[in-house]
Amino acid sequence: MNHEREHYVNGAWVAPLEPKLLDVVDPSTEEAFAQIAVGGPKDVDRAVAAARAAFPSFSQTSRKDRLDLLRAILAEYTKRRDDIAAALSQEMGAPLKFALERQAATGTAHLTRMIQVLETYPFEEVQGTTLIAREPIGVVGLITPWNWPINQIVCKVAPGIAAGCTMVLKPSEVAPLNAIIWTEVMHAAGVPAGVYNMVQGEGGVVGNAMSSHPDIDMMSFTGSTRAGILVAQAAAVTVKRVAQELGGKSANILLPDVDFKTAVTKGVLGMMGNSGQSCNAPTRMFVPADRHEEVKAIAKAAAERVVVGPVGDAGTTMGPVVSEVQFNKIQRLIEAGIKEGAELVTGGPGRPENLNRGYFVRPTVFANVRNDMTIAREEIFGPVLAILPYRDEAHAIEMANDTVYGLAAYVQSADVASARRVSAQMRAGNVFMNYPVGDTAAPFGGYKQSGNGREYGKWALDDFTEIKAVIGYEAA
């Protein structure tokens, strides 16, 4: 990888038109270990022009052509998966095992799924005498985050390719090196010039230039709700489609009949995976008020099992959070929980005692949390769990839905009918019953301020296509 100070445009690595460099910081050491090129509007214009020029040809390629291309991308990705995991571990602080088995593995999963979807996807169907056709929407702008970087890159690029779109990617400037390796994968796979382009840069500059660009037909954005609003506002001027996967404050409702030791432990450890930096993490745990003391003890024991430390150590299960900005935000919110009267069960402010540098956060559990407290309202994006007691099922559902977010919800019950009944009342795009295995074919996205549109599988392909009706296509 020797392309940190370049963008990728029209099938080649190119020097920036507006030269500027930005440090990439290792969150374990707080030290810069690389520099990337940071683009500007002229770099975006060049990349969009390449994508626009490539669109007429690529949009007319056959299903077989695009399947062959996706299979070639998957083959090249498999060769570089270890490299991607190593980059992710250093730039975002994921333990190496987690980076390989969870983070980098998502790229394989999404490519494999998209190949399966494309094999049978109904681009055309006749209804009566009318042809309903799904066609590539055009040039798409892709903005991806730092918390699950390669996951979000692949689950946007793969359906874009499958649909016949051309694209410009702006990866996170906080965790950008995995995107450079991904771009090397695309080049090695033989993606035609101009179909895939990448411009490194900051959201306020490159992201804004993409969102407002008249020659981009769609923006697909994953990130904070605040930034998503700015993307949508900039995109509105040109009336382009905007698909957004934004923030979350997901509820985890434990019904009275569940095995509490198992359900609480899985909830705590699942929420603290990826250092709590997952938009769909089950950060609010709702438990029966008469089981609250029992739950506190189980949650404390589970959180204290988390091993925080250097990402290369075999025993580490949680690394640092990604940046100083995130570390400071999490510390502020932990302090707010204490100040507002939540009961600190374990963890708290500062680093773990054995670590004197790096953006390491103590696995933290609060109990006796009210739903109007800051730690129950704001997305913390760190390893901080809030336990909220409820009176009865109706009270739990009411509190769970009392949030501006609606990305995910979790329901635990020994009785499937009860879990289904509560799941049906959750105002969220995904509901996970009894900690199931993930499903890359299921639509991923949220209600309310968690965004709009859906990713993964056929649902992503739907988002990257436009619908055309040809009336009178068949003789009456």
Assess whether the region 7-246+450-470 and the region 251-439 belong to the same CATH fold: no
Select which of 6, 173, 184, 245 is catalytic: 245
**Class level of CATH domain 251-439:** alpha beta
Q: Interhelix angle for 63-92 vs 105-120, to 10°?
A: 160
In DSSP terms, which residues pair with 389 in a beta bridge?
287
Of 3.40.605.10, 1.10.150.120, 1.20.1260.10, 3.40.50.1000, the CATH number of 7-246+450-470 is 3.40.605.10
Contacts of 430 (CB under 8 A, 6+ apart): 280, 407, 408, 409, 442, 443, 444, 445, 446
| pLDDT of 1 | 63
Select which of 6, 165, 279, 455 is catalytic: 279
In DSSP terms, which residues pair with 220 in a beta bridge?
142, 243
Q: Is 279 a catalytic residue?
A: yes
Q: Is 135 a catalytic residue?
A: no
* Mean pLDDT, the chain cut into blocks of 10 residues (476 residues total): 93 95 97 96 98 98 98 98 98 97 98 98 97 98 98 98 98 98 98 98 96 98 96 97 97 98 98 97 98 98 97 95 98 98 98 95 98 98 98 98 98 98 98 96 97 96 98 91
| pLDDT of 379 | 97
Quote the pTM value. Answer: 0.97
Domain residue extents for the chain: 7-246+450-470, 251-439
- What is the arrangement of strands in the sheet containing 384-390, beginning at the earlier edge strand? 343-346, 364-367, 384-390, 284-288, 251-254, 408-412, 430-433
Nearest residue to 94 (alpha-carbon basis) of 269, 265, 272, 221: 272
